[in-house]
Amino acid sequence: MINEIRNELFEHIVPFWEKLRDDENGGFYGFVSYGLELDKKAEKGVILHSRILWFFSKCYIAFGEERFRRQAFHAFEYIKNHCIDYERGGVYWMTSCKGEPTDTMKHTYNIAFAIYALSCYYNAFGDRFALDLAYKLFLDIEENTLDEYGYREAFSADWELVPNDALSENGLMADKTMNTILHLIEAYTELYKAGKNERVGGRLRFLLGQMKDKVYDPERKALRVFFDTKLDVIGDIHSYGHDIEATWLIDLACDTLGDKELIEDWAKRNLLISGNILDIAFENGALNNERDKDKINRDRVWWVQAEAVVGFTNAYQHSGDRKFLEAAHSVWEHIKSEMIDKREGGEWFSQVTFEGKPHEDKEIVGPWKCPYHNGRMCIEIISRGVEL
């Protein structure tokens, strides 16, 4: 099935995003509705552009085709010229279709994705200016967001704290989130890979420590989601997709650091998390979305399914237990059947019901809907060489 996944990447996902390139204003168009209507005047998400930059850079690393260099350079130019606040630090949240800042909020999560993308661009093409920008954004986070408990998240353009509604949900207003800690780990892993910088490595170890001591719940074998400023948990929520995504991203972080003790410690913990997700969230061949108190959301979300394929494959590679491989195969079959948009000009649906009906209020492209999760799934499965 590696061939099926390769075809999905090269014949469907990549051409879809190549066609969204905006040669008039730079970057890529920011919105396509469920009805496949392209809005060329829609705002452009900075997270979206960081993820596009990462995607084409990673495709070049994996496959070496010049088409990926061209698209990555186009995304890099947009981020370099329109998304970075060179005066006050950090990156903007949104820009207009022409590249002017429209939402100047600074968010640690958003900056982390810019670091992730710029570091990958450097690892693909050796552009030292991109790496220097990544280090500058790393310092912006380290110098502006930390308190005595960890990384704060939402700020004004001048680094004054603002409500964290960008990542809070389920009726909760969280000061700190597992989501930001996880994607700081992801960003600092790529940045450490780029330069083996000791300070970056130290902060990556700190974040892995927070994940172990504050985020991981050993009784439930699950990750806590929302926290107050002191990292005390708030709410009773379990995000199934983030759990399975975290397992392989944390394994990658430990491997990148080359720390044998960390590698072994987290490998055991991540298998416990993966096994728990398989037991409680895998239903009818795919992964349910989340649990909020006693209510389970059984919708199938595009990124959750993509991460399940990688996470279960990673668990199989670490354990040799075929139940994980069979789960990964099952989720891929579900993706082919229900998640991939087979309409002319479509990509993947954002979300479908348990019964397989797409949510028509969910866009095909938007500030969060991008080629990062599903494209990365394809690259990972092809690179790992595991037949599902």
- Among 286, 325, 379, 267, which Cα is nearest to 10's? 379
**Per-residue pLDDT tens over the stretch 226-266:** 999 999 999 999 999 999 999 999 999 999 999 999 999 99
Positive/negative CA dihedral, 42, 58, 281, 353: positive
pLDDT in the model for residue 171: 83
CB < 8 Å & 24+ apart, contacts of 59-66: 59/9, 59/14, 59/375, 59/379, 60/124, 60/125, 61/120, 61/123, 61/124, 62/379, 62/382, 62/383
Say if residue 1's pLDDT is above 90. Answer: no
**Per-residue pLDDT tens over the stretch 338-381:** 999 999 999 999 999 999 999 999 999 999 999 999 999 999 99
State the distance between the two ends of the chain, measured CA to CA, in whole angstroms.
6
- The three-state DSSP-derived secondary structure of 187-243 is HHHHHHHHHCCHHHHHHHHHHHHHHHHHHEECCCCEECCEECCCCCEECCEEEHHHH
pLDDT in the model for residue 365: 98
**Per-residue pLDDT tens over the stretch 273-310:** 999 999 999 999 999 999 999 999 999 999 999 999 99
pLDDT in the model for residue 153: 98
- CATH code for the domain defined by 2-384: 1.50.10.10
What's the pTM?
Answer: 0.98
Task: Grade residue 24 by pLDDT with cuts at 50, 70 and 90.
Answer: very high
Q: Where are the domains of the chain?
A: 2-384
pLDDT in the model for residue 170: 81
pLDDT in the model for residue 388: 74
- Over pLDDT 90: what percentage of the chain? 97
Residue 329, number of CB atoms within 10 A of its CB:
20
Task: Give me the residues paired with residue 91 across strands.
Answer: 84
Q: What is the mean pLDDT of the chain?
A: 97
Q: How far is CA 334 from CA 258, 349, 356, 367, in A?
A: 35, 12, 9, 25
Task: Grade residue 14 by pLDDT with cuts at 50, 70 and 90.
Answer: very high
- Among 26, 65, 66, which Cα is nearest to 49's? 26
Q: State the Cα–Cα distance between residues 290 and 385, nearest whole angstrom.
A: 30
